[in-house]
Chain A
Amino acid sequence: MSEFVSDCRKEWRRLCVPDAVANEMASDLAADLAEAEAEGVAPEEVLGNGIFDARAFAASWAAARGVVPSTPRTWREIRRRGWMTVAGASVSVLAALAGLALLSHRHAASVAPGMLRRFIAGPLFVPRPLVIGPGPGGVLLMNGRSDLLGLILLIVGLGGSCLTLWLWHPWTSARRRSATEDNAGIPSYL
């Protein structure tokens, strides 16, 4: 039985259960099992099916006491995903704002969507005339690469924002799932 308690301790250590709590659980478990053994009671009658899987038993006990998340690996992933989502959202918003700033600064005429016909190459951020649109002489729409860069930044920013919203969904649904798991305690029979 000491092997069982030892396996439980290993699992609690792996789950980063605080030492004080782990020591308390191990001490109570060892004392109960020793008492049962002295009375000739099989460990199955004390631990039920838990006797066959020390790790699962230890994890479920620790989770029930609220000293580890109910599903540690999943939560770790969710947390990492949360940070990535926040970072992605920040970059997306900054990109969209930068794109808007560039476009509003360089904008010279109304844009006719899908009418881009010619782009005159030039160094970045140096305005070059860009002729777009039908008619004699065309319509001056954009000033060189900085306008195109602004447009790209705006599209990337908006796309990134949409992606962020999409990524956010599993985060919220996972939190809902966890809340349901925690909603236990008062007896329910059905």
Chain B
Amino acid sequence: MLRGVLDLCLLAVVAEGPAYGYEMTKRLSARGLSIVGEGSIYPLLGRLERDGLFDTYRAGSNGGPPRKYYSLSRQGKRALAAGTAEWQTIRDSVDTVLGLAKAEVGA
């Protein structure tokens, strides 16, 4: 996976509502994004928190032990909006390039 894409995906799943680490993994998996073979999300969460993109708090989880919940900070919302726009631009450009290649291969 391209560097930074998982960051953006984490911002996106947390935008749905506060979540703890494993909960985010489940949300990603539910959308077809498995992290098997990729690095863990924990260092990414640490970095995003350190960079001020996440706010955190501790709370109980379904009767389990207290967990660290991550939510989007104002800066995180801005980063998500900017990253989404940037991603769409890149995706469109890549689609165009691949579309041309496909047409040439098919011809």
Contacts and interface: CB of A to CB of B under 8 A. Distances in A.
A61 B40 CA distance: 9
A45 B50 contact: no
Given A35-B22, A50-B40, A61 B4 contact: no
B15 interface: no
B29 A45 contact: yes
B47 A184 contact: yes
Contact of A187 (B25, B66, B86): B86
Interface in A35-82: 35-36, 42, 44-50, 57, 60-66
B17 interface: no
A46 B79 contact: no
Nearest to A62: B46
A31 interface: yes
B42 A45 contact: no
A66 B48 CA distance: 11
B64 A31 contact: yes
Nearest to B41: A48
Interface of A: 24-25, 27-29, 31-32, 35-36, 42, 44-50, 57, 60-66, 184-190
Interface of B: 2-5, 7-8, 11, 20-22, 25, 29, 34-51, 53, 61, 64-68, 79, 82-83, 86-87, 90
